[in-house]
Structure 1
Amino acid sequence: MSIEIGVKFIDNLEQARLEIQDVGSDQGGWQRMAPKAVHRVIKLTDVSPTQANIIKQEILARGGEAAVARGVVNHSVEKTDVLLMASLKQYRGFVDKLRMQPFGLAKLAERLAEALGNLEGVKVRKLNCRGKVLELGQRTRVMGILNITPDSFSDGGRYMEVESALEHALRMMEEGADIIDLGGVSTRPGYSEVTEDEEKRRVVPVLEKLLQAVPVPISLDTWRAGVAKEALEAGVHIINDQWSLRGDPGLAAVVAKYQAPIIMMHNGYNTNYGDIMMEVLHFLRVGIDIAEESGISRQNIIVDPGIGFAKTYEQNLEVLRRMKELTVLGCPILLGTSRKSVIAKTLNLPVDQRVEGTGATVALGIACGADIVRVHDVKAMVRVAKMSDAILRGVNCEG
């Protein structure tokens, strides 16, 4: 027969090792060749011309490439973005050399090494939710939404009573929810602000019942330190903060005191972005720094790109398309797209007919690295997640 030609898309060293072994290479061969098979394109922003010239010189010396602004050579620009293009083998030599350079490049070398490590595929990790252990990475976890608000865009007013809220939480758990996310304040476009006392009045009675009756971890969707403190004292397991510790300066210390996991979401006050994913990454990275400086363990941080928050329709689609870029942070990723306006505008459907659109975003999100999906339609999305995991991770998700 004639020689056939195929193509392999290799995302990490483990895939490279398996492909090289598959052709019959010995251990010495795959150890030597695997770093050459993985190519990374990494973008740096706000680089000075001095830094950029050294970076370009060092990556070129190792066979890689760096794209910079035209005015870098003669210093006619104040700052430039840099697009690095190299194999892992080339990056290793480049990072080692960068560690010996001045102008802040040694610190950049450490951050690059961390970023490259974070890109090496899904990591299985155990999230300690204040005594309840949730394994992430083996299969996608499903978070069921429980809104106890009169004005949420999808189910406002349906679960305001304690008993109806508890019944719905138990139903979602039976349908496969791994986490229940309780929220007492609507964040839909045009929502009305409520006081801290009103948020507590809504949340605390329901939370007390949930903690008694629901065996899975309970997450509280709040940005307020006072509400979080009362909920954590009651026993809530996770805090879900839509402002990444910017909404209330006291929240970080509260979360650190109780050693609770925290979900940090991208948000903002306008939709004026340059490279939107770079700005999302920067926002989340600053939140991670605030968290760690306050005593929150990096192992307790989950990030969320904030679909539907401070983004236009086109920007929401772009973030979904590029969501895999979030893996550079090395944190578990939560995706919340359920029934949102990006689905409504695409399919021109009312809120109760968006399950298929939600399913498409969930499947895509899992393919792009989502560890947790936050949804209203738990039963359907558990099925979408199981099928996606079987394809992407080769996992039998019966358990």
Structure 2
Amino acid sequence: MEKQDGYNLRVVLIKDQKDAKKALVEVGTDQPGSRWMAPKAVHRVIRIKNLNSKAAVILKQEMLSRGGEAALSRGVGNFSVEETDCLLMGTLRQYDELRKKLKMQPFGLRRLADEIKEVLDNYDKKEIRTLRCRNLSLTLGERTLVMGILNVTPDSFSDGGKFYDPEIAIEHAHEMVDEGADIIDLGGESTRPVTWNEEPLSAAEEIQRIIPVLERLVREIKVPISIDTYKAETARAALEAGAHIINDIWGFQRDPKIASVAAEYDVPVILMHNKDGTEYQDLMGELLAFLRRSVEIALEAGVKPDQVILDPGIGFGKDVNQNRIVMRCLRELRSLGKPILLGTSRKSMIGKTLDLPADQRLEGSLATVVWGIAQGAADIVRVHDVKETVRAVRMTDAIVCSL
């Protein structure tokens, strides 16, 4: 075979240390060498909020001395600002060396060293974990799980109350399980966004809608049932009837008593970002801060750390463009170190982007699901169209796992 001219260069995709070690071994590096060099091949950018200017100067000097970079407000140079945001840029090796030096520095930099390690560890964490769903369990990390949506409401945006009749709802739940749903998410109040000022559905009426269906499903299907509610009273009634998971669209921040209820029954919780209005100074920063607070509320109430799942809240407290920004930045949620549920199915973001009604948004919904999995930011996807989504998920998982 005739020798090819040139060196056949290419840029290699390196997402994490696993990819780095694989690439190093492929060029003939021995195992000790690949372990040593892999952290040099992985680059990360970290944004820090409200850093003391004196600490920022030290941080920048230390990062520069290790070959990395730190971008600060221009006012830090003459100390005309007391605080600054900071953008750190470096390899995992540089961060490791930086943290060792920060441990010896004042102005809160010792604590910052620990937080840098935590966020980097969270971001790259890939583990298989088991959710304890009372008498059932779910394994996260082996494949993407599919949650089927079951709305027993007369005014659902997506199906117009199609499953308000309990018998029809139960039949549909069975159908979704047969199609491959790993979880059924049962809701008695419309999943359209609810604002702080809007009169909510009473807990009594919500309970009246869901309990007859829930009691049948607990007996008849063999997958966990999640209850979509933000009300402590509804959550307790559902858990008493055998529900396995609580899915709160307000992230335990509308009715904080729900956190104690979930802790009492030791069930997994799904905490979603939500907001009344769409005004943001820093969309992703504020979204992550909200979810961090939700996690704190859960843990303070006694929810186990390994029973918490987070949801970026696509379609809630965000306009169309903001939803697309969150989708583009989904991987940033891995900084929190929790499994992620992605609920984009038939949302207005898709309808307004494609100019389609709710019942014609399948392809757009599948595109968002595939994107979320490819970003490594969807451990569970919440969907209306289970059969089609299961096929798309299995194909995407096969591709992602081959890397």
TM-score, normalisation: structure 2: 0.95
The alpha-carbon deviation at position 236 of structure 1 amounts to: 0.8
Aligned counterparts of 1:3 and 1:265: Cα–Cα separation in 2? 49
Secondary structure at 2:124 match in 1: coil
Structure 1 stretch displaced more, 45-54 or 63-72: 45-54
Aligned counterparts of 2:286 and 2:335: Cα–Cα separation in 1? 13
- Which among 182, 196, 200 is matched to residue 203 of structure 2? 196
1:371 aligns with 2:375: no
Structure 1 stretch displaced more, 189-198 or 90-99: 189-198
Question: Quick check: 1:180–1:216 contact (8 Å CA) kept in 2?
Answer: yes
1:99 aligns with 2:103: yes
1:72 aligns with 2:80: no
Residue identity opposite 1:112 in structure 2: I
Alignment root-mean-square deviation, CA? 1.4
- Which among 26, 30, 46 is matched to residue 50 of structure 2? 46
Aligned counterparts of 1:200 and 1:333: Cα–Cα separation in 2? 27
Structure 1 stretch displaced more, 76-85 or 122-131: 122-131
Aligned counterparts of 1:80 and 1:46: Cα–Cα separation in 2? 5
* Structure 1: runs of 5+ lacking an equivalent: none
1:389 aligns with 2:393: no
- Which among 364, 377, 380 is matched to residue 388 of structure 2? 380
- 1:348 corresponding residue in structure 2: 355
- Which among 122, 125, 141 is matched to residue 145 of structure 2? 141
- 1:242 corresponding residue in structure 2: 249
- 2:128 corresponding residue in structure 1: 124
Aligned counterparts of 1:280 and 1:387: Cα–Cα separation in 2? 30
Question: Quick check: 2:43–2:90 contact (8 Å CA) kept in 1?
Answer: yes
Question: Quick check: 2:159–2:359 contact (8 Å CA) kept in 1?
Answer: no
Residue identity opposite 2:264 in structure 1: K
Instruction: Give the aligned length.
Output: 395
Among the aligned pairs, what percent are the same residue? 54
Aligned counterparts of 2:239 and 2:298: Cα–Cα separation in 1? 17
The alpha-carbon deviation at position 216 of structure 1 amounts to: 0.3
Cα-to-partner distance string for 1:102-131 (whole Å, 9 max, x where unaligned): 322222221211111112253221111123
The alpha-carbon deviation at position 91 of structure 1 amounts to: 0.4
Question: Quick check: 1:12–1:121 contact (8 Å CA) kept in 2?
Answer: no
* Structure 2: runs of 5+ lacking an equivalent: none
1:287 aligns with 2:294: yes
| Superposition pairs of residues 256-295 of structure 1, within 5 angstroms | 256-295=263-302
The alpha-carbon deviation at position 352 of structure 1 amounts to: 1.0
| Superposition pairs of residues 139-218 of structure 1, within 5 angstroms | 139-189=143-193, 193-218=200-225
Question: Quick check: 1:147–1:156 contact (8 Å CA) kept in 2?
Answer: no
Cα-to-partner distance string for 1:129-150 (whole Å, 9 max, x where unaligned): 1231211111110000000011
The alpha-carbon deviation at position 189 of structure 1 amounts to: 4.6
Distance 1:192 1:167, change over 3 A: farther
The alpha-carbon deviation at position 291 of structure 1 amounts to: 1.3
Secondary structure at 1:239 match in 2: strand
